C-alpha cells in the first residue's frame, strides 16, 4: 500500500502554480512591483501549438532553466531573454512522448546483424538475408562456436513469404549457433547448432504459452520458435550489461525524431539499474520511464527503488505484463480464426494466450491492489477480453481508483471492448504504425479485409471519450513520430491502399495522443504534454505547422530541433530540417 500512497502523492502534489506566478506573488508580498522576468530563451512566432486551451493563440514562449517560464502574446512579453528564436514558418510544440517502446532492446540492436526489410534494412529474400549474415560474421570476426544474433527479419516481406528455417541458417554456418529475432520480437529462427545448444529435439514438448514449430508431418523442430519457447535464447540477445555508448546513441536517435521522454516497456531490473548508473555517471539527454517485465508470479519490484520518482532522469514507472503475441507473427490471441492460418495449423486456429486467465486475474489484482501502474500487452481481442475480465474482477474486491492501466497495442479491440475500457478506466495505446508497415499483410493474410480495416480503431476510441495514445514500439519500427502521425491520420498501407478510412482522426487528435494523453498515461500531466507555464521545458520545433497541412503531406515534416528540460539536444544539420 505504500506504493499506492506514494504515487498519489506525487500526482496530487504536482498541481503547483506556474513559476512566473510564484515569482510575482513573492515580490508582491514585499510591497514591490514585480521584477521583469528573465529568460534563457524566448521563442516567438505564429505557429505555436501549446495543446493547452488556456494558452491558445500564444505567439511567444519563454524558458528559464528546466521550466517553461511564460506563455502568451509576443507583444505582452516585457522581460529579457538571453536568446530569442524567431520561428518564422516553423512550429513549436510540446516534446513528443514515447507511449510505448523498448529502449534496452533498441540499444542492443547496435551489436546485432540487421536482417530487417526496407525501409529499416536491406533484406528482401532468404538469399539476401543469408548474405547479410555472412558479411556481418566476416566483418565482426566471429569465431566458430560463438553466437551470431540478427534482429528484424519479417516473413511477410520476404519474397518466399515464410520464416527462414534451420536449413536456411545451416547454409550460412554449421559452426556458429545462429539466432534471428522476428521483427515482432515474438518469434525466432535458429539453426541446428543453436537447437542443439538449447537441447531442443523431437522429444521436447511445447512449453506453456509457446510453440516449437515442426517439420511437416514430423516432430523434428524446423528451427522456428514462438513466444515462451524463445525464452532460453534471451541471454543471447537480452543478456549482459548495456554499453553506455549504445544507450546514448539510441537516445540521440529518439531525440532526432522529436521525442523527449523515452519508454522501456519490458525491461529487466538489471537494465533499469544500468540506466540509473549511466545517468548518474554521465547524464542522459532524455527522460526514461521503465516498466520491468513480469515473467512469473514470484516477480517483485525492488523496494529501494522509488516507484513513480525520477532518479536523475530515470523513473521506475510500473510493470509490464504480456498476455499474448504478435498479429503479424500470427501468435496474437484472437476471438475468431486467422484469415490464413500459419503452416501446420488448422483452419480454426486463433493464436493462444501466454498465461491462463487465473494467472492474469492474480497478477492484475495484485498490482492493482498495490497501486502499481500496469502496461498490459494485448494484441488480439481475446487477450483484450482476458485483461478486461481481470480488471472487472479486481474492481469487485476493491476500488480500482485512478489506476490508468494501459492496454498496449490494442490492435484488434472491438467496439464493445472500447465501451468496457471506458467504463473501467483502461487506456488504449495503439500501435497505429501497423497500418502502414503491415496493413496489407493484415488484410490479405492475418485478419482478412473486414477485421483489418478496424485495426487500431482510433476514431471509435475517440467517440468513446478514451484518452488513447500512439506508439511505434521501437525497435519493431523506428521511433519516427512524424511517420506515426502520418500513418494514424491517413491509414495508407505500403501498397498505397486506404485501410479503414472510417478510423482516421484529425491531426490535432493525433498530436494530443503523443503529447497530452501520453503524459497523462504515465501520471506526468503535472509537468509534461503541453506548453504551459511551470511545466518542464520539453519542446520540439517542426519545419512547418502540421495543423493546416493536407494530411497526406505530413511525411514532408522535419524535426528541426528538440529541447529537453530546457536544453537543446538535437538540431538539424542545415538548421531548417
Decide the pairing of beta strands 374-378 and 539-542: unpaired
**How far apart, in Å, do the first and last CA atoms of the chain sit?**
48
**Grid cell in block for residue 450:** 473486414
Strand partners, 264: 102, 290
**357 dihedral zone (left: phi>0; alpha: psi -120 to 50; beta):** alpha
CA R_g for the chain: 24
Question: What digits encode the pLDDT tens for the residues 239-276?
Answer: 788 999 999 999 999 999 999 999 999 999 999 999 99
pLDDT averaged over the chain? Answer: 93
For residue 427, which phi and psi values (nearest 5 degrees)?
-100, 130
Measured CA to CA, the distance from residue 334 to residue 381 in angstroms comes to 5
Question: What digits encode the pLDDT tens for the residues 271-326?
Answer: 999 999 999 999 999 999 999 999 888 999 987 888 999 999 999 999 999 999 99
- Say what the alpha-carbon torsion angle 19, 20, 22, 27 is, to the nearest 10 degrees: 140
Decide the pairing of beta strands 38-44 and 60-64: antiparallel
Measured CA to CA, the distance from residue 116 to residue 114 in angstroms comes to 6
CA distances from 59 to 69, 160, 392, 449, 551 (A): 14, 54, 46, 46, 24
Per-residue DSSP letter, 280: H
Strand partners, 225: 188, 212
User: Do residues 485 and 546 touch, judged by C-beta distance below 8 A?
Assistant: yes
How many CB atoms neighbour CB 89 within 10 A? 12
Q: What is the pLDDT along the chain (577 residues), one digit of tens a residue?
A: 344 433 433 333 333 444 444 444 333 334 444 567 999 999 999 999 999 999 999 999 999 999 999 999 999 999 999 999 999 999 999 999 999 999 999 999 989 999 999 989 999 999 999 999 999 999 999 999 999 999 999 999 999 999 999 999 999 999 999 999 999 999 999 999 999 999 999 999 999 999 999 999 899 999 999 999 999 998 877 778 899 999 999 999 999 999 999 999 999 999 999 999 999 999 999 999 999 999 888 999 987 888 999 999 999 999 999 999 999 999 999 999 999 999 999 999 999 999 999 999 999 999 998 999 999 999 999 999 999 999 999 999 888 989 999 999 999 999 999 999 999 999 999 999 999 999 999 999 999 999 999 999 999 999 999 999 999 999 999 999 999 999 999 999 999 999 999 999 999 999 999 999 999 999 999 999 999 999 999 999 999 999 999 999 999 999 999 999 999 999 998 655 4
CA angle 540-545-548, nearest 5°? 150
Which residue segments constitute the domains of the chain, with CATH numbers given? 1-94+530-577 (2.30.40.10), 103-237 (3.10.310.70), 318-528 (3.20.20.140)
Q: What is the pTM of this model?
A: 0.93
Measured CA to CA, the distance from residue 4 to residue 1 in angstroms comes to 5
Length of the chain, in residues:
577
Closest of 198, 193, 186 to residue 171, by C-alpha: 193
Beta strands in 398-518 (DSSP E): 406-409, 427-430, 469-470
User: Do residues 284 and 137 touch, judged by C-beta distance below 8 A?
Assistant: no
pLDDT score for 2: 41
State how far Cα 15 lies from the chain centre: 27
CA distances from 510 to 101, 243, 436, 483, 515 (A): 18, 34, 16, 11, 9
The number of CA neighbours under 13 Å toward the Cβ of 470 is 35
Amino acid at each position: 500500500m505504500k506504493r499506492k500512497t506514494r504515487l498519489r502523492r506525487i500526482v496530487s502534489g504536482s498541481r503547483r502554480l506556474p513559476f512566473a506566478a510564484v515569482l510575482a506573488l513573492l515580490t508582491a508580498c514585499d510591497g514591490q512591483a514585480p521584477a521583469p522576468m528573465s529568460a534563457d530563451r524566448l521563442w516567438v512566432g505564429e505557429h505555436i501549438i501549446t495543446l493547452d486551451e488556456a494558452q491558445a493563440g500564444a505567439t511567444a514562449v519563454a524558458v528559464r532553466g528546466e521550466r517553461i517560464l511564460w506563455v502568451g502574446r509576443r507583444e505582452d512579453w516585457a522581460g529579457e531573454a538571453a536568446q530569442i528564436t524567431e520561428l518564422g514558418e516553423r512550429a513549436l510544440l510540446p516534446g513528443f512522448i514515447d507511449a510505448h517502446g523498448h529502449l534496452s532492446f533498441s540499444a542492443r540492436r547496435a551489436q546485432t546483424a540487421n536482417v530487417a526489410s526496407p525501409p529499416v534494412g536491406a533484406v528482401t529474400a532468404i538469399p539476401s538475408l543469408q548474405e547479410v549474415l555472412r558479411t556481418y560474421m566476416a566483418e565482426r570476426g566471429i569465431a566458430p562456436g560463438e553466437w551470431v544474433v540478427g534482429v528484424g527479419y519479417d516473413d511477410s516481406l520476404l519474397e518466399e513469404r515464410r520464416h527462414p528455417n534451420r536449413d536456411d541458417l545451416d547454409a550460412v554456418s554449421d559452426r556458429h549457433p545462429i539466432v534471428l529475432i522476428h521483427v515482432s520480437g515474438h518469434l525466432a529462427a535458429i539453426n541446428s547448432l543453436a537447437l542443439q545448444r538449447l537441447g531442443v529435439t523431437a522429444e521436447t514438448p511445447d512449453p506453456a504459452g509457446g510453440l516449437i514449430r515442426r517439420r511437416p508431418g514430423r516432430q523434428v523442430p524446423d528451427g522456428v520458435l514462438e513466444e515462451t519457447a524463445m525464452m532460453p535464447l534471451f541471454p543471447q540477445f537480452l543478456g549482459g550489461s548495456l554499453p553506455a555508448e549504445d544507450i546514448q546513441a539510441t537516445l540521440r536517435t529518439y531525440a532526432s525524431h522529436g521525442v523527449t521522454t523515452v519508454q522501456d516497456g519490458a525491461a529487466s531490473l538489471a537494465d533499469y539499474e544500468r540506466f540509473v548508473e549511466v545517468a548518474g555517471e554521465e547524464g542522459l539527454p532524455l527522460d526514461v520511464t521503465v516498466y520491468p517485465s513480469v515473467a512469473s508470479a514470484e516477480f517483485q519490484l525492488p523496494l529501494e527503488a522509488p516507484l513513480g520518482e525520477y532518479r536523475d532522469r530515470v523513473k521506475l514507472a510500473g510493470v509490464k505484463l504480456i498476455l499474448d503475441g504478435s498479429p503479424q507473427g500470427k501468435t496474437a490471441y484472437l476471438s475468431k480464426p486467422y484469415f490464413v492460418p500459419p503452416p501446420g495449423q488448422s483452419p480454426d486456429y486463433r493464436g493462444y494466450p501466454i498465461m491462463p486467465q487465473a494467472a492474469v486475474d492474480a497478477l492484475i489484482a495484485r498490482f492493482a491492489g498495490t497501486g502499481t501502474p500496469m502496461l498490459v500487452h494485448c494484441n488480439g481481442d481475446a487477450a483484450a477480453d482476458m485483461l478486461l475480465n481481470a480488471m472487472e474482477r479486481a474492481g469487485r474486491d476493491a476500488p480500482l481508483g485512478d489506476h490508468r492501466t494501459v492496454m498496449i497495442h490494442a490492435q484488434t479491440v472491438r467496439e464493445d471492448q472500447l465501451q468496457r475500457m471506458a467504463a473501467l478506466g483502461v487506456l488504449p495505446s495503439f500501435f497505429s504504425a501497423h497500418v502502414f508497415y503491415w496493413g496489407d499483410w493484415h488484410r490479405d493474410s492475418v485478419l482478412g479485409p473486414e477485421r483489418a480495416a478496424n485495426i487500431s480503431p482510433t476514431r471509435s476510441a475517440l467517440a468513446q471519450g478514451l484518452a488513447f495514445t500512439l506508439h511505434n514500439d521501437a525497435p519493431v519500427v523506428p521511433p519516427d513520430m512524424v511517420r506515426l502521425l502520418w500513418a494514424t491520420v491517413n491509414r495508407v498501407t505500403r501498397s498505397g491502399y486506404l485501410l479503414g478510412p472510417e478510423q482516421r482522426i484529425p491531426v490535432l487528435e493525433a498530436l494530443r495522443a503523443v503529447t497530452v494523453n501520453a503524459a497523462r498515461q504515465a501520471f506526468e500531466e503535472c509537468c509534461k504534454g503541453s506548453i504551459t507555464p511551470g511545466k518542464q521545458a520539453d519542446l520540439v520545433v517542426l519545419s512547418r505547422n502540421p495543423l493546416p497541412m493536407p494530411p497526406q503531406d505530413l511525411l514532408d515534416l522535419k524535426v528541426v530541433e528538440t529541447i529537453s528540460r530546457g536544453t537543446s539536444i538535437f538540431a538539424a544539420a542545415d538548421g531548417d530540417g
